[in-house]
Amino acid sequence: MSKWKGAWFLAKQELVRDRWRSIITVAFIGYLLLFSVPLFLESMTERETDSMSWLTDFIYLSLLPCLGFVLNNTMMNYYKKDSYSRKLAYLRTLPITPQQIALGRLIQLTLVLFAAQLIFFAAQYVIIYFSFVEIDLGDFALYALFWFGYSLMIAMAYVYWEIGHSGKVYFAACIVTAILFLAIAAAVSWLGEGNIVIGTLGAIEEGKWWIALITPVICAITLPFGYRVLTNRLQKRSYTV
């Protein structure tokens, strides 16, 4: 089986297996909208004086990449049972190469993230529209594209820790990353630099549409590099738990 066929087979198997669990992901999207949309609307109406702008940035920076991960039994047990290592150890007993595992995981990640963020941003736009806040649909689509590119880059880093290390190391990496994002959001707010989320949308509305292409282009460049890093890590890591 070729690399691409094997990778697609693995990705498809995971997508089929997690089919009903997608309901949990949709519920998480609803939960995220419940908190993010009011903050977004407040930031839109009080761009310079919004004291909670750091929270809007923190939610986007830390949680949007998480939409690429389906909430299944493997994820829920990764810390205690090191379920990712067990799963990979099983796959390595089969005629499946590290290249196929890495590529399959990236394919699955991209498809899940795209579907989840399509739902998230579509619902967000509808809510904003009925809240009588006018945003051009084209500008909003570019804004969503910007955050999709960002989310995929960060999610690839999460995948590196997910399948390249033990469950405890993965958990520690997630905690450190969340603290880092909190520090960035707080620093931007404290320095009076405004709001990353609203600032991005505002720049696009002002005609700087090319900003939306920055993260997708960087993501497209780094994706092959991420694939090689994942492959090398899978070849070298220990699968014992």
Read off the pLDDT of residues 191-241 as tens digits, 9 standing for 90 and up: 766 788 888 998 999 989 999 999 999 999 999 999 999 999 988 887 665
The reported pLDDT for the residue numbered 167 is 80
Low-confidence stretches of the chain (pLDDT < 70) are 1, 20-21, 45-52, 72-81, 192-193, 239-241
The reported pLDDT for the residue numbered 93 is 77
DSSP state of 217: H
What helix, strand, coil percent values describe the chain, rounded to 5? 80, 0, 20
DSSP state of 134: -
The reported pLDDT for the residue numbered 195 is 82
The reported pLDDT for the residue numbered 49 is 47
| Type of residue at 228 | R
In Å, how far are 8, 9, 70, 72, 142 from 212, measured between CA atoms? 29, 32, 26, 32, 5
Q: How far apart are CA 233 and CA 173, in angstroms?
A: 16
- HSE-CB of 142 using CA atoms within 13 angstroms: 20
The reported pLDDT for the residue numbered 156 is 94
pLDDT digits (tens, 9 = 90+) for 165-181: 888 888 899 999 999 99
The reported pLDDT for the residue numbered 76 is 66
Residues 6+ apart with CB under 8 A from 77: 83
The reported pLDDT for the residue numbered 10 is 84
Taking the whole predicted model, whether its pTM rises above 0.85 is answered as yes
What phi and psi values does residue 18 have, to the nearest 5 degrees?
Answer: -95, 10
Q: Which residues of 214-235 are buried (b: 16+ CB within 10 A; e: fewer)?
A: ebbeebeeeeeebbebbbebbe
Q: How is 53-116 classified by DSSP, letter by letter?
A: HHHHHHHHHHHGGGGGS---HHHHTHHHH-HHHHHHHHHHTSS--HHHHHHHHHHHHHHHHHHH
Q: How far is C-alpha 62 from the geometric centre of its chain's CA atoms?
A: 8
The reported pLDDT for the residue numbered 225 is 92
Q: How far is C-alpha 37 from the geometric centre of its chain's CA atoms?
A: 18
Q: How far apart are CA 130 and CA 139, in angstroms?
A: 17
